[in-house]
Amino acid sequence: MSRPRIVIVGAGFAGYRTARTLSRLTRHQADITVLNPTDYFLYLPLLPQVAAGILEPRRVSVSLSGMLPHVRLVLGEADGIDLDGRTVHYTGPEGEEGTLPYDRLVLAAGSVNKLLPVPGVAEHAHGFRGLPEALYLRDHVTRQVELAAATDDRAECAARCTFVVVGAGYTGTEVAAHGAMYTDAQVRRHPMRTGMRPRWMLLDVAPRVMPEMDERLSRTAERVLRQRGVDVRMGTSVKEATHDGVVLTDGTTVGTRTLVWCVGVRPDPLVESLGLPMERGRLLVDPHLQVPGRPELFACGDVAAVPDLDRPGQYTPMTAQHAWRHGKVCAHNVVASLGRGKRRAYRHRDLGFVVDLGGAKAAADPLGLPMSGVAAGAVTRGYHLAAMPGNRVRVAADWLLDAVLPRQAVQLGLVRSWSVPLESSSPEVARVPGRPGRPGTDAGRAGEPAKAPPGGEAAEKRPGGEPAEGRPGGEPAKNQPGGEPAKSQQAGESAKNQSAREPAKNQPGGEPAKSQPGGEPAKNQPRGGDAKKGPSGSPRASGRPRRAVEAAGPRPARGGSAKPGKTSRGTGAGAAGKRPTASPGPSRSTGPPTEPGPEPPAHQPPPGPDIAPGPVRRTDGRAEEGDS
């Protein structure tokens, strides 16, 4: 008899616990496969401490292969499930595609950022759901304080020193509390010329901080925040976001370069494609975490609407505490479906919550007992050490070092602003050129970086005033093989000078494309805006696999390129792979649009998706400078 094949999609709290328990219960008599975009389990509750420089990133990431030695790990993102054929289709980190057959499937894909229809938020805000976002925020905050300390302009200093956090839940409260301590420590060592101090704002439409917790704990958390100078505004949110600031719902305009979006999360959109009964974006399951009518399909964690047996008619909330315990019960029921043991119904009462406010301050209610101060801080850190599946000694060592040594306030520049778009469907993975995303999503399709902001704002200006000069070697070309940067773009050169539809530097009469016989690579290859769109200008169908698009053959080049030898003065939106369109945001165009360039000659074959336009031959017999 063949060994049963069990596939687990996702390795968060629910997926990791399911895999670990299954490995123990099956005693190596089943083939267990975990499909996950990363090779680590991320302990999300400690992510704010990574952004504040208390913990190093590897402290909160636990190796899956090290902790699950008898489980097969497949790196990739699931982008389709054939329920009748019992296969999972996925796309790997380098664009490779594959399928995983299964006898039992556990969906534990987790959640993604929740984006509300607020103008400018998708372009100017960043979420806080993964390591790339935490690393970006740490670098960004450090950069803003350093730039503010170096300027004599009070208005610019005030904007760079203002940090706005939207969402006063657990994550937003911890980000504001730890962030205020981090920036205050920076300013103590390097005072600002204007005499200002960093300002943190915490906004939420709720009537109080952390409404999910006991009211006494909410008051404790708010008191700690106000003591640290955090401007807590309840009943207020963001009405509009721009590059230079935000407009609040009370009509106030706040100048800022930092907008952190911690409003909430929504279930991973993968489950919406299954066509099964849903409950507010979550897959409906029975108390045994099994999908009705699909005995081979289980779901747990944030993607599953699990009935709360202690509160009839309600579902368990989307918390790490429930997801962790979902995984254990799900593993037992998967094994029971294979004929071993009995099924279990999920029933769990909340054990309380803990919120780390930095230093020795915390708010906690273990087993319903409200606590604050040093005692709550000890309980909070003890709980985290007990709940982490690994790295406990390293985490404790980092806490000890942080208590006796000053933090290192340096920006590494490892994650750029366009790598962590708010609308990303997979926040645990930073977007890089050449990396395909999940079909059907806006961000990350076929390696697409962050979308160009509306109003033609180029990628060189992100919400924190992050210039493009931080990208070594220039802005990466989206359709260059392997994401290689454009050859002629110098290090430190702003992407603003890159034309939205600029052809190769010496075109016409320039260097031939690399793919042409005997040719040289094009020097200023467009950054993906032309190659990604078809002849009609419409975007590539999101559900079409990347290989199928590339195999479909070359596409004709679009017109509208700048004249040879001239620098385009357009908006630069094409540098981010998107045609500039009218929008509520401010336009950053510095001049009139460029004149359309010449159309390719009839004898020239149309370029493919990853090929620069070919050479145009001269008719006067003379070679122009740069011809090979």
Residue range 435-466, pLDDT digits in tens: 544 444 443 333 334 344 433 333 334 444 44
Mean pLDDT, range 517-541, rounded to an integer: 40
pLDDT in the model for residue 388: 93
Contact 108, 6 (CB under 8 A): no
pLDDT in the model for residue 373: 86
- Give yes or no for residue 369 having a pLDDT over 90: no
pLDDT in the model for residue 101: 96
Decide which of 128 and 453 is more confident.
128
Contact 64, 40 (CB under 8 A): yes
Mean pLDDT, range 272-291, rounded to an integer: 93
pLDDT in the model for residue 305: 95
Residue range 172-186, pLDDT digits in tens: 999 999 999 999 999
DSSP string, 577-609: TS-----SSPP---SPPPPP-PPPPTTSPPP-T
Taking every pair of C-alpha atoms in the chain, what is the biggest distance, in angstroms? Answer: 89
Percent above pLDDT 70 for the chain: 68
- Give yes or no for residue 483 having a pLDDT over 50: no
Between the alpha carbon of residue 500 and those of residues 173, 488, 531, 570, 611, the distances in Å are 40, 16, 13, 7, 17
pLDDT in the model for residue 1: 53
- Give yes or no for residue 523 having a pLDDT over 70: no
Mean pLDDT, range 563-581, rounded to an integer: 38
Q: Is 293 helix (H, G, I), strand (E, B) or coil?
A: coil
Mean pLDDT, range 133-161, rounded to an integer: 93
Most confident of 68-72, 370-374, 596-600, 612-616: 68-72
Residue range 292-316, pLDDT digits in tens: 999 999 999 999 999 999 888 899 9
Mean pLDDT, range 601-608, rounded to an integer: 44
Q: With bands split at pLDDT 50, 70 and 90, how would you rate the model's confidence at 573?
A: very low
Contact 469, 493 (CB under 8 A): yes
How remote is the C-alpha of 413 from its chain's centroid? 16
Phi and psi dihedrals of 113, rounded to 5? -60, 140
Percent above pLDDT 90 for the chain: 52
For residue 576 the two structure tokens come to 């981010």
pLDDT in the model for residue 97: 94
pLDDT in the model for residue 202: 97
DSSP label at residue 449:
-
Residue range 7-16, pLDDT digits in tens: 999 999 999 9
Sign (positive or negative) of CA dihedral 474, 480, 481, 482: positive
pLDDT in the model for residue 225: 95
Instruction: Count other C-beta atoms under 10 Å from residue 517's C-beta.
Output: 5
Q: Report how far residue 97's alpha carbon sits from residue 89's, in angstroms, rounded to the nearest whole number.
A: 7
End-to-end CA distance of the chain: 65
Sign (positive or negative) of CA dihedral 553, 558, 562, 564: positive
Nearest Cα residue to 74 out of 15, 132, 24:
15
Alpha-helix residue ranges (DSSP H) falling in 97-255: 121-124, 131-150, 154-160, 170-189, 215-227
Q: Considering the chain, what is the average pLDDT of its residues?
A: 76
pLDDT in the model for residue 433: 66
Contact 31, 46 (CB under 8 A): no
Q: Counting Cβ atoms within 10 Å, is residue 387 exposed (0-12), middle (13-18) or buried (19+)?
A: middle
- Give yes or no for residue 370 having a pLDDT over 90: no
Instruction: Count other C-beta atoms under 10 Å from residue 66's C-beta.
Output: 10
Instruction: Count other C-beta atoms under 10 Å from residue 406's C-beta.
Output: 11
The bridge status of strand 162-166 relative to strand 258-261 is parallel
Q: Report how far residue 616's alpha carbon sits from residue 628's, in angstroms, rounded to the nearest whole number.
A: 12
Q: With bands split at pLDDT 50, 70 and 90, how would you rate the model's confidence at 209?
A: very high
